[in-house]
Amino acid sequence: MSNQPHVLRRYTSGYLLYAGKLRRSQWKSADEIAAEQRRQLRELLRAAAQVPYYRSLGIGPDDELAKLPILRKDTVRARFNDFLNPRHPRRGVFEDHTSGSTGAPLRFLLTAEQKAYEMAFAIRFWRWAGYRTGDRIAAFRSYIPATPRDPLWKLDRRQQTLFFSVYDMTPAHLRRYVTEFNRYRPRFVRGYPTSIFAFAQFAAAEGLPVHSPHAVLTSSETLSPEMRAVIEKTLQCPVFDWWGTNERVVTACQCEQRGAYHVNAEGGILELVPVAPGLYRMIGTGLINHAMPLIRYDLGDLALPAAAPCPCGRGLPVIGGILGRSDDLIVTGDGKFIPPVRFYTLFETCDQIRRFQVVQTAPDAVTVRLVPARELTNLTGLRQKLQRFLGENVAIEFAIVDEIQPDPSGKVRTVIAHAPR
Ligand SMILES: [Zn+2]
């Protein structure tokens, strides 16, 4: 969610309207929610019939979603103009783009309505976590010191948020972060899971007392069970995770049960399409944005279906969990699928390692970069465990490094798979 004041001002009226609507709609039955989605989908397909790309497919309002082709990012990148709806009013439409952390940035159009919905969904999520207007927040994202002389943290009084730079998380700085965090006493913490995890892990390892907030809100990267456990134990509060992509097609997040992820179904349809046994691609259709409709768009992430409905009783559909980016899915020479989350399980339970990055350099070769927490004496055990799930044919090389650099958006890529598939 964007918290920039000018964005807040511009969309506040729409957002308040939608926030009220979403507060009620979450408790509708699954059937009622699905019926409303079908109505929205018909409207979307009617709009899409004006859009060159979809017109060439002969799309009409009565089409069944599952029969339409899956749309890849590359197609949108290459044919941007063919996705624009010429009949959509220009007012309130603006251009945005993906961070381009793993390839060329992708441009897309958003609408004011989409933006307002996005804020309303984010606030609903924050409310599920117990947020009250005016609560103090510590954020581990969005702040980049412009020069080396700029401060490592910055208080934004308007947003009641203390922003910490995630580009400077060295042990010496982290010690000062803990002191500043304790002084500010935030009721909420939000940001990248890897950054909050690094903060919590450092405090725990150093035995530093940390102020306990009401809850932690993570987003924008995959939250592994191990990261969650370390953050919850150190900060003594629950973690709530949000999943979304820059394109804002559809989002999902955890309610107070903190098990499955509820799809924010009033804004989009999420389909899980099988890739391999137990692994699904997330395919989204945005129901709000008619200026540049994205239908059956491959969101680039992997998920698990939910085993059961969420016990909270909300009618919003659920998915079981997020397994990381599909681009980071390692496929070995003999066709073994290893989702990124498997590596977290291995490295994050190893207290000798502070950070890691797995880079697949060839189908049967990986380089594992390790930032040790203390002197690494023996890598044999780790090599054996890695070999077991990568397979005997995969050559493993270790590289001990001082730091793993985040990409320009501030995210740390923990797994980099070989070559596009
Ligand atoms: Zn729930």
- Binned at pLDDT 50, 70 and 90, residue 4 comes out as very low
User: From ligand 1's centre to the CA of 213, what distance in Å?
Assistant: 22
Please tell me the distance between residue 401's alpha carbon and the centre of ligand 1 in angstroms: 41
**Per-residue pLDDT at 36 exceeds 50:** yes
Ranges of beta strands (E only) in 46-123 are: 93-97, 107-111
Whole-number Å distance, alpha carbon 121 to ligand 1 midpoint, is 14
Predicted confidence at residue 99, as pLDDT, reads 67
Cα(22) to ligand 1 centroid in Å equals: 14
* pLDDT at residue 284 is higher than 60: yes
The CATH architecture annotation of domain 330-416 reads 2-Layer Sandwich (3.30)
| Per-residue pLDDT tens over the stretch 307-341 | 999 999 999 999 999 988 887 888 888 877 888 87
Residue 412: pLDDT over 60: yes
Residue 49 has pLDDT above 90, yes or no: yes
- pLDDT computed for residue 353 by the predictor: 85
Q: How far is the C-alpha of 409 from the C-alpha of 142, rounded, in Å?
A: 9
9 pLDDT above the threshold of 60:
no
Contact 410, 141 (CB under 8 A): yes
Residue 47 alpha carbon to ligand 1 centre in Å: 32
Domain ranges of the chain: 5-129+242-328, 137-237, 330-416
The mean predicted confidence, pLDDT, of the chain is 90
Q: Note the pLDDT tens digit of each residue in 364-385.
A: 999 999 998 888 878 898 899 8
Strand ordering across the sheet containing 137-140: 153-156, 161-164, 137-140, 188-191, 215-218, 239-243, 252-253, 261-263, 318-325, 297-305, 279-286, 268-276
* 126 alpha carbon – ligand 1 mean position (Å): 14
Å from CA of 130 to ligand 1 middle: 14
Report residue 191 CA to chain centroid gap: 10
Q: How far is the CA of 315 from the centre of ligand 1 (A)?
A: 9
Per the CB < 8 A criterion, the answer to whether 249 and 284 are in contact is yes
* Alpha carbon distance 301, 328 (integer Å): 9
Choose between 102 and 137: higher pLDDT: 137
CB atoms within 10 A of CB 400: 12
Q: What is the pLDDT of residues 66-107, one digit of tens each?
A: 999 999 999 999 999 999 999 999 988 989 887 655 566 789
| pLDDT above 70 coverage of the chain, percent | 94
Between 144 and 368, where is the model more confident? Answer: 368
Distance in Å, CA 64 to ligand 1 centroid: 28
Rounded to 5 degrees, what are φ and ψ at 312?
Answer: -65, -25
Using the mean position of ligand 1's atoms as its centre, give its distance from the Cα of residue 256 in Å. Answer: 7
CA of 301 to the centre of ligand 1 (A): 21
Name the amino acid, one letter, at 227.
M
The continuous run of DSSP H or E covering 401 comes out as none
φ, ψ dihedrals at 173, nearest 5°: -70, -40
Quote the pLDDT of residue 238.
Answer: 98
pLDDT attached to residue 1: 42
Q: In whole angstroms, what is the distance from residue 162 CA to residue 2 CA?
A: 15
Segment 102-130, tens digit of pLDDT: 566 789 999 999 999 999 999 999 999 99
Report the DSSP beta bridge partners of residue 287. none
10 Å CB burial of residue 255 (0-12, 13-18, 19+) is: buried
The tens digit of pLDDT for each residue in 220-237 reads 888 888 889 999 999 999
Rounded CA separation 144/164 (Å): 9
Q: 239: CA distance to ligand 1 center in Å?
A: 14
- Residues, CB-to-ion distance under 5 Å, ligand 1: 255, 257, 310, 312
Ligand 1 midpoint to CA 35 (Å): 20
CATH architecture of 5-129+242-328: 3-Layer(aba) Sandwich (3.40)
pLDDT at position 233 is 97
Q: Give the pLDDT of residue 419.
A: 61
C-alpha count within 13 angstroms, C-beta hemisphere, residue 349:
12
DSSP string, 144-168: --SSTTS-SEEEETTTTEEEE-SS-
pLDDT of residue 2: 44
- pLDDT at residue 298 is higher than 50: yes
What integer pLDDT is reported at residue 409 of this predicted model? 67
pLDDT tens-digit readout, 193-216 = 989 998 999 999 999 999 999 999
Task: For residue range 332-370, list pLDDT tens digits in order.
Answer: 888 778 888 778 878 877 778 888 899 999 999 999 999
More confident residue, 215 or 275: 215
